[in-house]
Amino acid sequence: MQRILPMMLVGALAITTMLTSCGKDPDPTPTPTPTPEATLQGDITENMTLETGGKYTLKGYVYVKSGATLTIQAGTVIKSDIVDKGALIIERGAKIMAEGTASAPIVMTSGAAKGERRPGDWGGLIILGKAPTNRSTEPTIEGGVGKQYGGTDANDNSGVLKYVRIEYAGIAAEPGSEINGVSFGGVGAGTTVENVMVSYGNDDAFEFFGGTVNCKNMIAFSCLDDDFDFDYGYTGTINNAISFKNPVWADPGDAANGIEADNDGSGTDATPNTHPKLNNFTMVGPNGAAGTQANHNLGNRWRRNVEFTCNKFIIMGHQKGGFSIESDGTIDKTFAGTSKISNSLIHNADAAKAYISKDGVAPKSSADLKTLCEANGCQTMATTDEIGLTDPFNVDAPNFMPKSGSKAATTGAGAMTTTDWTAGWASWTPNNNDY
């Protein structure tokens, strides 16, 4: 393996010098293309392309600097060194153009051998943009990378993520400051995010720190902490998403939720208020399977003065509750109609905990929350069979398609209706793959 970045910079400078000495205007700086077996390390300061079929090793924190574009072609594999654990950081003003296909997804994974990969083998992917947050000053992204995000451009464009798998990520730089599978910091609506899977992450699968980015066809599979985490004024839309909690994997130091969301860490009234707009989510808990870890928690956890709009959800099988609202601000906004869940199928093994309002007292008790949600078209399911997904609890080969004639099929709730959009590119057993 070679350390390619300094060599590429030298090469680019040499080409520019040669053209200038010939008395001609220099051409634009050429795009470096690393060899298909190369190490990515340090700063990427100019456009770079990782080629189809290439296998690249990520070593330490790698920063794509403002003005540079990292293009990752379909079928590329990026494996992190597991001693000098890597992370890929797209800074404000930089772009990632990662466009895989259903038949040739892009994979970012652990560099450990087949069968030996573990959650937290490497950092993950961080994308930072210039879209608004609700912080009074530009915040620094968590994870120890020391980079700021946010701004005033709601339509900021950080590039493209399509058909990308991120496996075995999630390291803690320090307590309470982790790198997630994908961290979106102030990412704008000009960015395209479609068909992205995070599996076996040691922390959150996807965390959105402010921003306006819209996403569709997202999978969080067997991650230890929260699957979708929203805070600092995120206001984008996500269509079609799967959250799957593996019974034997849960963060021993935290509570593993399908969704966790806050306006901010103190529950202030800072604007824009965190308000994700979420449609067609399938959220599958461990459902009391053998070996279920104690820290599995809630399907949805809306807390700290957050707002939300949820439509056509399936919430099923979570350990300690289905749909939960916490803090006075969150509860008030829900009962006032600012926040709403509608047309959804909601289940919990303990039926008394299908809906949880931490207020606890009428007219804002858990029973009142159930009445409110059912008035908005939600249905409370006594069993998971009543929902009618094909094989949602299968850890090695789940099938989230609705059975014909089931509640899922007739209501259109959940991530899938007539098409299994995970086919061909998702991998439910990534430790079995040869990379």
For the chain, the helix, strand and coil percentages under 3-state DSSP, each to the nearest 5: 10, 35, 55
Measured at the alpha carbon of residue 343, what is the angle toward residues 225 and 230, in degrees to the nearest 5? 30
Q: Which of 95, 206, 189, 92 is nearest to 150 (CA)?
A: 92
Would you list the domain boundaries of the chain? 38-432
CB 389 within 8 A of CB 401: yes
DSSP-derived 3-state class of residue 7: helix
> What single-letter amino acid sits at 401?
M
- Strand duo 172-174 + 177-178: pairing: antiparallel
Tell me which residue has tokens 């009391």. Answer: 288
Burial code (b: 16+ CB inside 10 Å, e: under 16) for 142-169 equals bbbbebbbbbebbebbbbbbbbbbbbbb
* Phi and psi, residue 258, nearest 5°: -70, -50
Cα separation, 343 vs 359, in Å, equals 24
In sequence order, what are the residues at sequence separation of 6 or more whose Cβ sits closer than 8 angstroms to the Cβ of residue 31? 46, 47, 48, 49, 71
Per-residue pLDDT at 29: 55
N- to C-terminal Cα distance for the chain?
16
Where is 301: in which H helix or E strand?
strand 298-302
| Cα-to-chain-centroid distance, residue 112 | 23
DSSP state of 316: E
Q: Give 12-78 as a DSSP string.
A: HHHHHHHHHHTTSPPPPPPPP---SEEEE-SEE-S-EEEPTT-EEEE-SEEEE-TT-EEEE-TT-EE
CB 165 within 8 A of CB 132: no
Cα separation, 417 vs 408, in Å, equals 8
Tell me which residue has tokens 């699968």. Answer: 205
Q: Is the peptide bond before 363 cis (omega within 30 degrees of 0)?
A: yes
Cα separation, 135 vs 166, in Å, equals 29
- Strand duo 48-50 + 69-72: pairing: parallel
Q: Is the peptide bond before 402 cis (omega within 30 degrees of 0)?
A: no
Tokens representing 140 are 């620094």
User: Could you list the mean pLDDT of each consecutive 10-residue stretch along the chain, which spans 435 residues?
Assistant: 34 30 43 79 97 94 98 97 96 98 98 97 97 96 94 98 98 77 98 98 97 99 98 98 97 94 98 98 96 96 98 97 98 98 96 96 98 98 97 98 98 97 98 97
Residue 430's alpha-carbon distances to 70, 81, 115, 315, 420, in angstroms, are 25, 17, 9, 25, 19
Per-residue pLDDT at 24: 40
β-bridge mates for residue 315, sequence order? 283, 346
CB 91 within 8 A of CB 128: yes
Cα separation, 250 vs 118, in Å, equals 13
Where is 410: in which H helix or E strand?
helix 407-411
Tokens representing 340 are 């709403």
CB 59 within 8 A of CB 39: yes
Q: Which of 173, 239, 233, 243 is nearest to 206 (CA)?
A: 243
CB 150 within 8 A of CB 186: yes
